[in-house]
Amino acid sequence: MNATPDSTSPPSPAAERRAAELRRELRHHEHLYYIENRPEISDQAFDALFHELKELEARHPDLIQPDSPTQRVAGGILDHLPSHQHASPMLSLDSSQEEATLRRFDERVRKALTKASLTKADLAAAVPTSGAGSWVVDPKFDGISVELVYRDGVLERAVTRGDGQRGEGITESVRTIATVPLSLRAGQRPIPALLAVRGEILLTVDGFESLNERLLAAGKEPFANPRNATAGTVRQLDPSIAAERPLEVYVYDILALAPENEEDATTDGPIPLPDGSTLATHQEALAAMRDWGLRVSTLTRVATTVDELLDFHRSIEESRDTLGFEVDGVVIKLDDLAGRQALGSTSHHPRWAFAMKFPPRKEITRVERIFASVGRTGVVTPVALMRPVEIGGVTVSRATLHNREEVARKDVREGDLIRVQRAGDVIPQVVEVLEEEGRERAEPFQMPERCPSCDTPLVERGPFSVCPNSFECSAQLVGRLVHFGSRKALDIEGLGEETAKLLVGEGLVTELPQLFALRAHDLIGYEGFGAISAGKLVEAIESTRRTSLERFLFGLGIPEVGVTVARDLARHFGTFRGVQGADDEALQSVSGVGPRMSEAIRSFFAQPQTAEVLERLMDGIMELQESTPRPSGEAAEDGQEAPLEGKTFVFTGGLERFTRDSAKALVEGLGGRVTGSVSRKTSYVVAGDSPGSKLAKAEKLGVEVLDEAALIALLEAQGAQLPPPEN
């Protein structure tokens, strides 16, 4: 036991024996600690063994074996990540958030298996619902996918998914992950000559947060979410970076296994093992992987019916915040390996597996600044600039706080930690401020009393503050220019917010018609404008002089007139003069135009300044392709203009900025439907003041609930023209 080898090589047989014993013990305790979660010795006792082995190896470098527990951080900094072919393609997953799609998947698999079993009798047993254990379900880990290859039981390489055929070798970083054994254990099953498994590398939520804290303290950019942080860590060329971060691995599939000769690797169907036995089901494969010392999730369950699958989905979603790592759904897999083989794969995903995703979630971030932004209609909106955060795949850094009352109600202040969500998957909004004990908060945000752009005193309209200086306020002009050039309006390439600010700020454009008088030499020399880019912008503007009446009407930003109404007006009247001169009666004969909208349209055209600008635009600048009048209400040809097509809305409670009818008209104008009762099929329940039982029902059924602010954000994001707030 007491190894005191001298410092010369080769090591004595006693030293060799002791080193082997220490390696065995250390692996055993690592396994108990990391994989089985039931350590038998103290950390100190473990460290003592570890140091003994380190010392022994230092004295006798010949004793060092690549899979020794001391060799996790081995080697230095790489100069590139090598590319490797996968042992078997790493496919993606078919996925959905819809229960109906899951039901169709279940049916499809059952049908295909029944059909297959007509010719292959032994497949009959594989038909789900024909017995217990037909589906195996796991959480869908939101990390990065990895292939681990063990040759003769020793970890040879770890490879990212890459394009599914080849990926990048991240072996050195993955070796540092304590939950990845450097060599397999010979358990009840002998170790195969080749084993390639697939799993997921994750960073715990705690680990992610403390990593971001450290990065911030060092003046570095934090990661947007644990997945990005994981990817950014394992792809580092310096493995010591991964060693410092709390990465974990869960394995969930055997990609390839060769019992004795590599050439005989099984990549599909039942898996023969070296001892002559066979793994026939996924459950057996999981047990084998666990037995070899790999970490397999303990959350995995077996199910036979879709309802059981949905129960599992629900329970994982409910425990989502307490798992300690990110999951974004559940993965459903056929248990029977012969059944899997019979079903096969598309080039993208296996036909035997399905990911049932969770709806996009809320994220936590910090408010960096709150400022008041003046929109093109003069409404002054408080906006929170946040530390960028990824929500359901999109990085967001701004959230609207809507109006004075909303800011006060949510009491969002600079520096606050907030929960944000994307409403209807589009516009980020602040859900709530999180309490932080002991942190001193900034002063409450005050809406300015004067326009931050033109200094005109703001007027209050309900909860909104509005700059009444419509024609001279440069922020409003910037907003109008951006809208005029936006994709669904004139679609002027290069006329974004920055450029519009420059044009207005430098006095190059003081009203809309001047846009068309711009020449390249006016622009050259300003930031971002050389001869080429200046020429391009001028050309883009020039080329949009010929446009359709409907784009032009939409681009004018007439209150309440969104893309759909603009199209209907164009079709109904056919000419610009027709729309401009229409009276209430004529306007209201267009479908979707009620008294309120016709009033808004008429007062827009009646404004003397507007009329003057329009005269100049129509006098030799715009060449409108006016449309042949036809009955309004015909469907758009390309469906592009009905962004809410297929979505159903239910309203409950009172709204502030709309009447029920005008809200309904806006939703319908975008192709959505408004119905009276909530069901699982309802897309959104809009809950205003004192909502009724429909809200409770929505919550029970898991239907997305929007408050008025979220509804506004959703409608605006889809190009609706909302009525300006009124008194």
Active site residues: 140
Residue 92 CB, shortest distance to ligand IVH, in Å, is: 5
Residue 382: φ, ψ to 5°: -75, 135
Q: Which of 49, 180, 184, 331 binds ligand IVH (CB under 6 A)?
A: 331
Rounded Cα gap, residues 652 and 676, in angstroms:
9
**DSSP assignment of 181-247:** -SB----SSPPPSEEEEEEEEEE-HHHHHHHHHHHHHTTPPPPSSHHHHHHHHHT-S-HHHHHHS-E
Rank residues 161 and 567 by Cβ distance to ligand IVH and give the closer one: 161
What are residue 422's DSSP bridge partners?
Answer: 428
Residue 164 CB, shortest distance to ligand IVH, in Å, is: 9
Query: What is the pattern of x (binds ligand IVH, CB under 6 A) and - over residues 575-614?
Result: ----------------------------------------
Close Cβ partners of 7 (under 8 Å, ≥ 6 residues apart): 59
* Contact status: 353 vs ligand IVH (CB under 6 A): yes
* Contact status: 350 vs ligand IVH (CB under 6 A): yes
Q: How big is the site for ligand IVH, counted in residues (CB under 6 A)?
A: 15
AA letter at 578: G
Residue 82 CB, shortest distance to ligand IVH, in Å, is: 21
Rank residues 140 and 657 by Cβ distance to ligand IVH and give the closer one: 140
Using a 10 angstrom Cβ sphere, with 0-12 exposed, 13-18 middle and 19 or more buried, the burial of residue 165 is: exposed
* Contact status: 551 vs ligand IVH (CB under 6 A): no
* Contact status: 167 vs ligand IVH (CB under 6 A): no
Rank residues 91 and 540 by Cβ distance to ligand IVH and give the closer one: 91
Cβ pair 474, 456 in contact under 8 A: no
Residues in 355-374 at the binding interface with ligand IVH, rule: CB under 6 A: 355
Q: 3-state class of 493 per DSSP?
A: coil
Angle at 634 between CA 630 and CA 640, to 5 degrees: 120
Residues in 191-250 at the binding interface with ligand IVH, rule: CB under 6 A: 200
Residue 134 CB, shortest distance to ligand IVH, in Å, is: 16
Angle at 276 between CA 273 and CA 279, to 5 degrees: 45
Rounded Cα gap, residues 457 and 462, in angstroms:
16
Rank residues 135 and 252 by Cβ distance to ligand IVH and give the closer one: 252
Rank residues 253 and 707 by Cβ distance to ligand IVH and give the closer one: 253
Rounded Cα gap, residues 452 and 5, in angstroms:
79
* Contact status: 32 vs ligand IVH (CB under 6 A): no
Residue 201 CB, shortest distance to ligand IVH, in Å, is: 10
Rounded Cα gap, residues 591 and 569, in angstroms:
9
Q: What count of other Cβ atoms lies within 10 Å of the Cβ of residue 555?
A: 23
Cβ pair 124, 130 in contact under 8 A: yes
Q: Which of 636, 619, 639 is nearest to 627 (CA)?
A: 636
* Contact status: 253 vs ligand IVH (CB under 6 A): yes
* Contact status: 140 vs ligand IVH (CB under 6 A): yes
Rank residues 170 and 597 by Cβ distance to ligand IVH and give the closer one: 170
Rank residues 166 and 616 by Cβ distance to ligand IVH and give the closer one: 166
Q: Are strands 301-303 and 546-548 parallel, antiparallel or unpaired?
A: unpaired
Residues in 50-109 at the binding interface with ligand IVH, rule: CB under 6 A: 91-93
Cβ pair 726, 603 in contact under 8 A: no
Cβ pair 49, 25 in contact under 8 A: yes
- Which segments within 603-724 are labelled E, that is strand? 623-625, 648-652, 673-675, 684-687, 704-706
Residue 355 CB, shortest distance to ligand IVH, in Å, is: 6
Q: Which of 145, 429, 598, 718 binds ligand IVH (CB under 6 A)?
A: 145
Rounded Cα gap, residues 387 and 410, in angstroms:
18
Rank residues 91 and 524 by Cβ distance to ligand IVH and give the closer one: 91
What end-to-end distance do the CA atoms of the chain give, in Å?
Answer: 89
Residue 252 CB, shortest distance to ligand IVH, in Å, is: 4
Residues in 654-713 at the binding interface with ligand IVH, rule: CB under 6 A: none
Rank residues 309 and 331 by Cβ distance to ligand IVH and give the closer one: 331
Q: Quick one: which segment of 7-15, 350-358, 656-664, 704-712 binds ligand IVH (CB under 6 A)?
A: 350-358
Rounded Cα gap, residues 68 and 658, in angstroms:
69
Residue 95 CB, shortest distance to ligand IVH, in Å, is: 6
Q: Quick one: which segment of 122-130, 347-355, 496-504, 542-550 binds ligand IVH (CB under 6 A)?
A: 347-355
Residue 357 CB, shortest distance to ligand IVH, in Å, is: 8
Rounded Cα gap, residues 424 and 391, in angstroms:
12
Residue 308 CB, shortest distance to ligand IVH, in Å, is: 17
Rank residues 91 and 125 by Cβ distance to ligand IVH and give the closer one: 91
Q: Which of 57, 138, 248, 550 binds ligand IVH (CB under 6 A)?
A: 138
> Would you tell me which residues interact with ligand IVH (CB under 6 A)?
91-93, 138, 140-141, 145, 161, 200, 252-253, 331, 350, 353, 355
